[in-house]
């Protein structure tokens, strides 16, 4: 007689911050209401000057073939090498946005993947000169980002984003038990601490990984610690972004990466677990790609650094 199968080990407990965030989202979905946090308190607590992320070397090499090496101690240092005084195009928010209402810099939670430090500077370009000077930093704006994990799966929408990859999660967790529906239909309207009046997607789970926001400092800069995003069928690798000013959305756009960087990432685990990882959509064949969202990227041997200056007319 076959010996009985030993019981599965209990799951590791979530970090308290992650558990609290997921509980907040779960309650919100159940009650279909949003709580409002005073924006003044959020700004006072979170709008501290952006600091350079610790790295082990001051030499970083650009990952696009043919580009010269970039010297950068942090993603923030790359901002001065990136284009300025260029309008960042409006782009679709896509089906996988919801108002996670999470002010935090490290958005990884439990997602495996190549470490990515991202620096973003929001600038008012209404006074820009022909020579590219004159951009004015936008302080106290909320920059929000969200993106898929290495397997192309979005938190809050695991069911629909797995389905978008042919029903195969590519190494990512399965959808929430009992979840049904596409998860991309119209949900409620945002009404939390930094966003109001924007229609959300209808979430199917309580995940919050790879989502979060930061408040720009006096130089208009925010930084995030995340993983390099994966991809899903029909789209090139990208990060979604919103800039909120006085709880209104001033910009909705997407960020992109050089093809050389994407190819390098796709040869690493766990990205290689994605079915068809060698056939992903490229920037030049993506119907949404816009060059105004292209980041400047470097790699210091341990983590990737990316930076972009967002040009907004306010």
Mean pLDDT of 179-206: 77
Cα→Cα distances 267→118, 150, 154, 263, 264, Å = 21, 12, 21, 7, 6
CB atoms within 10 A of CB 148: 28
Per-residue pLDDT tens digits for 226-271: 999 999 889 999 999 999 999 999 999 999 999 999 999 999 999 9
Per-residue pLDDT tens digits for 87-132: 999 999 999 999 999 999 999 998 999 999 999 999 999 999 988 8
Virtual torsion, Cα 262, 268, 269, 273, nearest 10 deg: 60
- Given a contact cutoff of 8 angstroms between Cβ atoms, the answer to whether 43 and 215 are in contact is yes
Radius of gyration, CA atoms only, the chain: 20
Mean pLDDT of 41-45: 50
d(CA 135, CA 86): 9
Lookup: tokens for 192: 């939390």
Cα→Cα distances 234→40, 149, 150, 180, 270, Å = 40, 16, 15, 23, 20
Give the CB-side neighbour count of residue 112, counting CA atoms within 13 A: 11
Go through the domains of the chain in sequence order and give each one's CATH number: 37-312 (2.60.130.10)
For residue 100, whether the previous peptide bond is cis, meaning omega lies within 30 degrees of 0, is no
Mean pLDDT of 151-180: 65
d(CA 7, CA 145): 39
Helix (H, G, I), strand (E, B) or coil at 85: coil
């Amino acid at each position: 007689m076959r010996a009985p199968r030993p019981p599965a080990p209990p799951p590791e407990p979530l970090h308290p911050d992650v558990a609290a965030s997921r509980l907040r989202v779960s309650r919100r979905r159940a009650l279909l209401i949003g709580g409002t946090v005073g924006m003044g308190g959020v700004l006072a607590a979170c709008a501290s000057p952006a600091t350079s992320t610790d790295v082990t070397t001051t030499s970083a090499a650009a990952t696009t073939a043919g580009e010269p090496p970039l010297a950068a101690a942090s993603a923030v240092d790359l901002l001065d090498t990136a284009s300025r005084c260029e309008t960042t195009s409006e782009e679709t928010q896509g089906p996988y946005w919801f108002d996670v209402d999470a002010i935090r810099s490290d958005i990884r939670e439990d997602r495996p993947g190549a470490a990515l430090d991202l620096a973003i500077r929001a600038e008012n370009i209404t006074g820009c000169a022909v020579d590219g000077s004159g951009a004015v930093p936008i302080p106290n704006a909320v920059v929000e980002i969200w993106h898929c994990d290495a397997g192309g799966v979005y938190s809050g929408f695991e069911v629909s984003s797995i389905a978008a990859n042919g029903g195969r999660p590519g190494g990512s967790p399965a959808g929430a038990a009992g979840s049904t529906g596409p998860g991309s239909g119209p949900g409620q309207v945002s009404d939390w601490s930094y966003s109001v009046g924007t229609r959300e997607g209808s979430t199917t789970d309580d995940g919050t990984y790879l989502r979060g926001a930061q408040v720009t400092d006096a130089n208009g800069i925010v930084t995030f610690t995340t993983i390099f995003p994966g991809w899903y069928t029909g789209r090139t690798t990208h990060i979604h972004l919103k800039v909120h000013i006085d709880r209104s959305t001033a910009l909705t756009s997407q960020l992109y990466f050089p093809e050389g960087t994407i190819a390098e990432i796709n040869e690493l685990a766990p990205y290689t677990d994605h079915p068809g990882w060698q056939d992903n959509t490229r920037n030049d064949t993506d119907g949404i790609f816009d060059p105004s969202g292209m980041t400047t990227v470097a790699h210091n041997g341990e983590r990737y650094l990316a930076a972009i200056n967002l040009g907004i007319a306010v």
